[in-house]
Amino acid sequence: MSPWRTRQAALDRRAVTTTALIVAAGSGTRMGGEPKQFRLLGGKPVLRSAVEALIHHPAIRAVRVVIGRGQQQRAEEALAGLNVGDLIEGGAERADSVRAGLAAISGDAMLVHDAARPFCPPAVVDRLLASLEFYEGAAPVLPVGDTLARIGETLGDAVDRGGLARVQTPQAFRLAALKSAYEQWAGPSPTDETTVVRAAGMKVAAVQGDPALEKLTLPADFERAEQWLAGRLIPRTGIGFDVHAFSGSGPIILGGVEIAHDRGLAGHSDADVVLHAITDALLGAAGLGDIGEHFPPSEPCWKGAASALFLAHAMELLRSRGALIDHIDCTIIAEAPKIGPHREAMRARIAHIAELRVDQVSVKATTTEGLGFTGRREGIAAQAVASIRMGS
């Protein structure tokens, strides 16, 4: 069994079902009227980055998003292609939004996360969920490094920072415990859910946080985040190439789309040269080997398999390493069938599998003017280039 299938089988045996709830109902008061969750950071909306950081974690079964009234269209545009279910309308206060989310989800555990913290390292999620075996809740924290002082018109007395910490999100909870705590809560709107759970007499574990989880609140925070992102991620490029010969009767699969043709393509899987080339380009960009290493043709389980599985796996590997995929470009080399009528369907299908926007995917076609095996109509070839950004 391949390492990927072994890992997936282990995850399927997990009894705990975890949902991540991302609170994104802010109105943008402190950002001059522009809701920060929809501002672009690193070329994409902050909300999308926050969702992508959690939706690809193997222990999270679902991600749901709470938005403000009137934000439906902007949220749908920001999250296009991501499986987040129906958007949940929140309320005027944070607690109202969290309560709306609690009413819409089920399962054993949950994460509550601020959309304004778009960079969540997978290791933080691992630490949080591990703590739920012993505590009703868990939160990531960072020590206070600066001197603390009381202020009025002038600087006042220093405050002892010993034993103090900055509390971040995501915060993890046993779902039943958080629901029970909110049912008991009678105070003002809390700034986070640990306050509610502790007020109900439950214990919350403190786990190591991460500077990447700094909250975006003011315009200067976005400038800092852009600089951090630029310094953290290095542009990388990968190239993929694949060939399959014609064999048997059609149809054929190209770019995840079934196309009528009098001949089929020979291959151990569904012989989708487009998805194979793209998968190899992505794996190459991240230095993760090639498609044959992850899905060996010698394994009977991949006989006739849909190549969408291969592309989805490559995307999972890259995102688990914090990679951002900027663009995928694929050129199909064939005399027949004609690609033009199917180009947009391929782009849409590839974008759906890879959870990208359609404008991040390019599909082109060319011929070899009758030269070579493709010119003799013996098969189809595809070449792909993937542009990504990834930490060193």
Terminal Cα-to-Cα distance of the chain (whole angstroms):
30
Q: What pLDDT is stored for residue 27 in this prediction?
A: 73
166/390 Cα distance (integer angstroms):
28
- CA angle in degrees (0–180, nearest 5) for 390-51-166: 85
Q: What pLDDT is stored for residue 28 in this prediction?
A: 64
Q: What pLDDT is stored for residue 102 in this prediction?
A: 96
Residues of the chain with pLDDT under 50: 1-13
Find out whether 322 and 121 touch, Cβ atoms under 8 Å.
Answer: yes
Q: What pLDDT is stored for residue 34 in this prediction?
A: 77
14/133 Cα distance (integer angstroms):
13
